[in-house]
Chain A
């Protein structure tokens, strides 16, 4: 009945703590890499190793990043562990969330809104991640307006077409998908930043109110940065013309950009990371 019974259901705490941990590693760490990689379509504009200018460079930088990831050894193992972690975090998260009764109607504190939003963004995030992975990774093209199938060899163009609804231009369904992506990434970034903050309380890292405030500033800063990266990437892909991007990617497949880069930069061009000179 009481504590003298010893470790009654000792897996309870273990599951709770694994739920907290899985949100940080691997899911949170992956989110940071994923969003910064996506944003390469915009920050890639400053990548002078790529030919062209502006978004042309961005599209090729993004393609370069995607190709690098697809060349990683054991990629499927990494993906499987991520899917398992996300599934575990989602299922337990829902089980935990339905146990609470949000009461922002009566207690309108910002922290209470944060609590409620953490649960709402979790629900939205589950749907979004499922749609995102199912359509762009598992190739469930019947869920994509226009039936675009994402390809890692034509990363930016197929993504842009999936967001627009067709290769030719924006369709109504495409705009709906784009808005869905905006809401989805916004929810997930909030969920991660807030989860990072509360996990420090859960594990007992930030004890005093002052420490919680300080760590809150760090988490908010990271959240704003990631939000910027996520929105930047989305804007970049929405501005990417799928047909133009396709031509650039075709060029990369035939190795044209490597030649171009070497011509542009001479010896430095061969110092491209991740490739033999």
Chain B
């Protein structure tokens, strides 16, 4: 029977797949392998017996125990990055059936519910591959330093108590604070392209996550001290104006961060800032 795979299935269809999952089945795990930075990639497939509630990480661990492909060739265990295994660190993000998501929270039942179904794993394409499914997300964190995504409290003396925060403002910021810097929004963004040259990171598109973090800290009573610095950076090449409004970011975000609202909010702040700068000179 034809199964709707991730790139053509909705979350509802995937949930429905869970109820159809056949117990004791074996699925085919198709993995994009790469031996190191700059090396050519290749496909390898593994047969994996599925246990109920199994996730992609468990599937990769099973392969590591006995790394033999379907063709009978012995190979190396698949390399991948992982941390928390509960969808809060973002390290294990990869392409599953062509779409970015965390492999720890990805259940085989949702993607390959029937005997012989295939699940495809690839590394993210917007970051350089270190090995196999492991990518280097350094640019993502560099973007956060570009917009000074922090609250400035370092100093040589005690600053005392901070300003009061209303519960309403806290509530507004909470959604943005859930960002775990996983990179899904960047992977899905047609405006965010891979930049192997580190020197160009400062002028290439910064991405939805950093724009949203700028909004988060611009809305913080102490963090807003750096608001103008953040907006000035976001007015530069690679800033908020590079957004093409495809709005894929908000749809693939596993945390439901209101990324498109953040982009529009920063767009408004940048509009006001540019007029202020034009007329007052600072």
Contact = CB atoms under 8 A, between A and B. Distances in A.
Interface of A: 1-4, 6-10, 12-14, 16-17, 96, 99-103, 106-109, 111-112, 114-116, 118, 198, 201-209, 212
Interface residues of B, number: 46
A103 B190 contact: yes
B247 A112 contact: yes
A84 to B, nearest CB: 22
B140 interface: no
Contacts of B99: 106-107
Given A103-B188, A201-B245, A2 B148 contact: yes
Contacts of A116: 190, 246
B122 to A, nearest CB: 11
Interface stretch (B17-25, B43-51, B154-162, B264-272): B264-272
Contacts of A14: 274
A108 B7 contact: yes
B274 A13 contact: yes
A104 to B, nearest CB: 8
B14 interface: no
A107 B268 contact: no
A158 B115 CA distance: 68
Nearest to B250: A209
Interface in B122-169: 145-148
Contact of A206 (B237, B239, B264, B266): B264
The 7 closest A-B pairs by CB, nearest first: A204-B268, A115-B246, A3-B233, A204-B267, A16-B241, A3-B229, A111-B247
Main DSSP-derived SS at the B contact region: helix
Contacts of A100: 190-191, 193, 244
A206 B264 CA distance: 7
Contacts of A4: 229
B55 to A, nearest CB: 22
Contacts of A10: 235, 277
A56 B220 CA distance: 67
B233 A204 contact: no
Contacts of A198: 245
B258 interface: yes
Contacts of A101: 190, 193
Contact of B235 (A12, A99, A112, A208): A12
A9 B238 CA distance: 11
Nearest to A208: B261
B252 interface: yes
Contact of A112 (B98, B233, B246): B246
Contacts of A7: 232, 235, 277
A203 B236 contact: no
B242 interface: yes
Given A1-B202, A6-B232, A111-B246, A204 B264 contact: yes
9 contacts: A2-B202, A3-B147, A107-B252, A111-B245, A111-B246, A112-B248, A115-B247, A205-B268, A207-B264
A9 B271 CA distance: 16
B62 interface: no
A202 B272 CA distance: 12
A24 to B, nearest CB: 14
Contacts of B148: 2-3
A118 B190 CA distance: 13
B8 interface: yes
Given A3-B146, A9-B236, A111-B247, A209 B260 contact: yes
Given A108-B7, A108-B8, A209-B258, A204 B232 contact: no
Nearest to A16: B241
Contact of B237 (A6, A9, A203): A9
A99 B260 contact: no
Nearest to A8: B236
A40 B265 CA distance: 41
A17 B269 CA distance: 14
Nearest to B246: A115
B230 interface: yes
B251 A201 contact: no
Interface string B107-125: 0000000000000000000
Contacts of A118: 244
B145 A2 contact: yes
Interface string B166-201: 000000000000000000000010110100000000
Contacts of A212: 260, 264
B43 to A, nearest CB: 17
Query: Counting chain A CB atoms within 10 Å of each CB, which of B147, B233, B264, B277 scores highest?
Result: B264
A14 B275 CA distance: 11
Interface in B82-104: 98-99
